[in-house]
Structure 1
């Protein structure tokens, strides 16, 4: 039962309420009348003021959301426009021009290419890097300003020959140049492009593991000479694929390079096409990289969409800009007609899909299927057999949508080509399927299939002092000079340096972590015979040259009898000339090049982790020529003198 105080209190409350509003009397609602001014004041206080505050809140909230969205998306490069080229413009260019590009390199906080928020190192505040274009014969200027607070940087234009007496601008840190210092350091790469070099290339930082964090982008050289060799086409589009990590690359290095790690490379968390993907995030199962305790932030991201016109003929320029992982690439129900590999035009070769090692590029014409659907899947699939450890975050298939119906959000429903997770030997594309279109393998003057010089290079990973596992070519692992670059020392101190003095006639020199092959005779033909004693595959890249891939073996080791053309093991006619080739575990390859480009050229595995582990050497080419050049920019020399 209620006590009297509670009853009186409730009655008083009812009376108070009834005095100021409607009340019930004998089942009829009666309304007490108030003056008009009182009603207007009540309306203002009860309705207008809350509405006003709500409007202010919504406006501010939307402004905050817009600001947050801008902060999240302003770093994203619009690859749908930036990676599509204006063919008419380049066709109209008939004279050599100066092409200027400006790169401001900085760190962007809280970007999310696939939805997982992390920091990136970027060019001009955006990810991925912008397309660089020029015509053969142009002079390319890349003006770099390093706005990072702590890290030096460089830019290497991967695949460019630098054969106009400018090998010092190749961009390999501590080899061709000293790095550009942080906090506003500047350097301009001036690159005179060969009139006979064209095709698909890319650029990236060649300092540490930096390009894994975003300092990379496509580079295309147009040419009327190339257009005369291939079929005409309507549109030209770059497709860039890369593996992707959810943490800064340097955070993985201590464990990877530390003791008791037998070359167990970090497996990627994801992959991107055109710099984007939609990661399938589940907070219950997601594994934070490096055992970090940081909170993971996920924002919405989208799959890339490639809009096509079914009436047009497309040239796609495909780049594997990854740090580690090979891929298998294709588009459902389409045929890829290969016309270029690493800047070399090829005889046409049709394929359903392409196997690609890191650093490689292919151009293909897209052949549409007979059945006309409006949407198809573009797929880039990682070869999981190439990974030393599992990563539960990773979906080994990266997808994009190819649509012939613009502005559609419908997911494709097409069937893919068969794929079983990859190749157990982690093999590159069969190089015998590729034939150079307008180039022949160079032979010595007497027509012999043997070269002037044969160098055998044994590839291995060995555990040495302090239980550290490092990459070796023969018995040498590369370590960078601490306060100079190899080319600076060999050019400016040719007779007095710890690496190789000019008068030394040794074909091979090994000093201070610097393994050099020394070629001083212009026009020599050299074969590098690589025997891979490691169980992992290695995509080898040569700076300053294209090499002819005479043969690649999946297993076993090269035998000299293979030089006999009757054995049929090597192509001495129209083998593909390129700058990256993959060699599978316990396999071999023979690569031929001509000594004709003065400079110091890195030769290394292009897996970023392996570069950091020392799987690199240098080709010291025509030192007697480049040590006498008077064309070194003062700004280039100053980069080394600043750290002496």
Structure 2
């Protein structure tokens, strides 16, 4: 009895001491445009906080509480929000789902002049995360920062840690790039090509090393589009963490990090000053580009500096990118076993196609995500027992209601020739299948891409399921291949599942999982901040996806994707139409110039010019 009382007192003391040690970190951020020149080549405005850019990195300890008052300081009608990438925000830790941040999923967008409070505890997560805007493609213009949760019980030793953001840079503002991308004049859906790469928001960066020290380098790909390779000259990297999960040490010379992913590595410095500095190569995955402009620099050189008086290193080049560490084969440090069955399987067939307005859209099973009229979380919290009925969430968001504690298997088959880094909010998942890339041969028409896609075959998987699958929150889906992931529905909430290549998200490549909605209702109500922000945006604080609360199955007025194109009228037809139109306009111009000219035109020259234009575009005549 005495020992039991003693044990209880020890537990109480430990709990109390942990509460005392926990800190509250409060930030007041006001968004706004800041004059900058990130790459030193092209001045542009970036999105900063309180008149400063880059925005600050946030460092906390496990168990700390974070309060961020985000005020929309944009002077136009730009709305915004913040997402804390990789945070679970468990209700059991006293958190609220409305802190997750994606606009019209777990909150209303913040209108100019309005303030939203993000208030949550980082109870049991550690490692490398980041925070970023989740409205449009704003984080591409700099509204992003690292979010590091330090762990006093880290299972490895180092002397110093460094956080490194890898990103891509567009010289035009994100809204102009987005408008040009989502246009009928871009019928193939070719992603915008960035003008540069950034390493910690700059070019020609330097990491200062001291002999005999060990460094933890936390890499975060916070870009909008391209995956990136990283290699260090004459220094090995030992991977010890991915997406906030410790992994068994894996030594490599080459990292591959997709947008949204994080990877931490240990690097041992030389035992003495080596008499030189060493190159860090940051390399764009050019296979993701539809076209490679001649002036695009795809390899950027930075340096590890042992002495500033040493000369800057020369770049080196990678001959074989296949030797980059493959995420599928990483293994959790704690030997977390495979979830050996599933209760519910959700299959997404991914495709990109043109719809009736001529714009190229991204789709799951033919449905392109379109924001509802009220946030999905609002519908959960105001619908009572109907919250378990997927119909009230609309047919425009790929909504799935998940039951408490069931094992969910998600299959994504890629009927597209591009890579897609998929991110799941609110969970880590086990990656149990990942196909290689399947690319068309040179003589195989790319428009027949569907014919080479290899979907997941449950009766004959490509590889045996790993006993201890890698755990992470963002994974790369290979061209024309597939992925299979599993997780346990043990975190009630409204969780977005989407491509983190942000141009694809703007095309509609997303789904929403409504997990144990009745448990959400029991634990959470809409805060005053939430309601005020919605009211300021003229968004109802109750109702189904279409904003109706008198009839929860009435979806009249629900925003939906455009209707399909007429049969057979696809991207190739649009291209032919545009070329034909240009030729017709040129023909009219030539005839007018011929007829109105005060001089006698050279008939043969006019004929030859028209013939050359038609020949160069493959137009028969």
- 1:503/1:320 Cα in 2 relative to 1: closer, same or farther (>3 Å)? closer
The alignment partner of 1:441 has SS state of coil
1:240 CA displacement: 1.0
**Corresponding residue number in structure 1 for 2:84:** 157
**Corresponding residue number in structure 1 for 2:364:** 473
**Corresponding residue number in structure 2 for 1:636:** 530
Rounded Cα–Cα distance in structure 2 between residues aligned with 1:146 and 1:585: 38
**Corresponding residue number in structure 2 for 1:597:** 491
1:389 CA displacement: 2.2
After superposition, where does 1:620-631 map in structure 2 within 5 Å? 620-631=514-525
Please list the CA deviations of residues 192-213 of structure 1 after superposition, one character each: whole Å capped at 9, or x if unmatched: 1122x11100110000111111
If the length of structure 1 is used for normalisation, what is the TM-score?
0.74
1:522 CA displacement: 1.5
Match for residue 257 of structure 2 among 324, 341, 356: 356
Rounded Cα–Cα distance in structure 1 between residues aligned with 2:380 and 2:395: 14
Rounded Cα–Cα distance in structure 2 between residues aligned with 1:393 and 1:599: 46
Do structure 1's residue 430 and structure 2's residue 326 form an aligned pair?
yes
Moved more, 342-351 or 107-116: 107-116
- 1:639/1:251 Cα in 2 relative to 1: closer, same or farther (>3 Å)? same
Match for residue 327 of structure 1 among 228, 239, 257: 228
Structure 2 unmatched ranges of 5 or more: 1-17, 439-453, 540-621
Q: Is the 8 A contact 1:255 1:261 kept in 2?
A: no
Rounded Cα–Cα distance in structure 1 between residues aligned with 2:157 and 2:41: 39
1:526 CA displacement: 0.6
**Corresponding residue number in structure 1 for 2:281:** 379
**Corresponding residue number in structure 2 for 1:400:** 302
The alignment partner of 1:489 has SS state of helix
Rounded Cα–Cα distance in structure 1 between residues aligned with 2:157 and 2:38: 38
After superposition, where does 1:522-533 map in structure 2 within 5 Å? 522-533=404-415
Please list the CA deviations of residues 3-45 of structure 1 after superposition, one character each: whole Å capped at 9, or x if unmatched: xxxxxxxxxxxxxxxxxxxxxxxxxxxxxxxxxxxxxxxxxxx
Larger Rg: 1 or 2? 1
Q: Is the 8 A contact 2:344 2:407 kept in 1?
A: yes
Rounded Cα–Cα distance in structure 2 between residues aligned with 1:452 and 1:395: 48
**Corresponding residue number in structure 1 for 2:459:** 561
**Corresponding residue number in structure 2 for 1:516:** 399
Match for residue 168 of structure 1 among 85, 98, 103: 98
- 1:465/1:576 Cα in 2 relative to 1: closer, same or farther (>3 Å)? same
Match for residue 463 of structure 1 among 341, 351, 354: 354
Q: CA RMSD in A?
A: 2.2
Please list the CA deviations of residues 323-375 of structure 1 after superposition, one character each: whole Å capped at 9, or x if unmatched: 00001101111100000000000000000010111111011101346892431
**Corresponding residue number in structure 1 for 2:212:** 311
Q: Is the 8 A contact 2:34 2:53 kept in 1?
A: no
The alignment partner of 1:465 has SS state of coil
Structure 1 unmatched ranges of 5 or more: 1-91, 278-302, 444-448, 496-500
Rounded Cα–Cα distance in structure 1 between residues aligned with 2:199 and 2:225: 15
1:308 CA displacement: 1.4
Q: Is the 8 A contact 1:129 1:218 kept in 2?
A: no
Do structure 1's residue 570 and structure 2's residue 465 form an aligned pair?
yes
Rounded Cα–Cα distance in structure 2 between residues aligned with 1:487 and 1:594: 20
1:439 CA displacement: 4.5
Rounded Cα–Cα distance in structure 1 between residues aligned with 2:235 and 2:511: 41
Q: Is the 8 A contact 2:414 2:482 kept in 1?
A: yes
Match for residue 164 of structure 2 among 230, 236, 239: 239
Match for residue 142 of structure 2 among 208, 211, 214: 214
**Corresponding residue number in structure 2 for 1:55:** none
- 1:96/1:631 Cα in 2 relative to 1: closer, same or farther (>3 Å)? farther
**Corresponding residue number in structure 2 for 1:493:** 383
Q: Is the 8 A contact 1:339 1:346 kept in 2?
A: yes
**Corresponding residue number in structure 2 for 1:256:** 181
